[in-house]
Amino acid sequence: MPFPWLHPVIPEDYRKTFGRKAEAMYLTELEERAALLYRLRYDRSYAVARLRANVRWDFELHRVPKLVDRVEAIVDAVYARGGRAGGPPEP
């Protein structure tokens, strides 16, 4: 094996947690996008359609993740709390 970097050694604990970390990252991104659409005064149905289209586009070359099924609940939660997502906690 003349080029060892062509065959990376990935620790097993990283392999196990990567899927959960990636899903958490995508959920946070969806919440932030939904909050942005809320602040831009788009209605709920447009936000749901837009976020579903974004997820499908992001994964058009791969299998669409099950996150697309959770978009409506994410938008409902963000719109119910007034479009705040991420950032520092409020006092």
Q: Where do the structural domains in the chain lie, given as residue ranges? A: 21-80
pLDDT score at 69: 93
pLDDT at 90 over 60: no
Q: How far apart are the first and last CA of the chain?
A: 57
pLDDT score at 78: 93
- Write out pLDDT tens, residues 20-69: 888 899 999 999 999 999 999 999 999 999 999 999 999 889 888 888 99
Each residue of 29-41: b (16+ CB within 10 Å) or e? bbbebbbebbeee
pLDDT score at 85: 58
Instruction: List the structure tokens of 64.
Output: 């669409």
Structural element, H or E, at residue 29: helix 12-39
pLDDT at 83 over 80: no
Residue in the structure block whose two tokens are 């899903």: 23
Residue of 56, 47, 39 lying closest to 74 (CA atoms): 47
pLDDT score at 2: 74
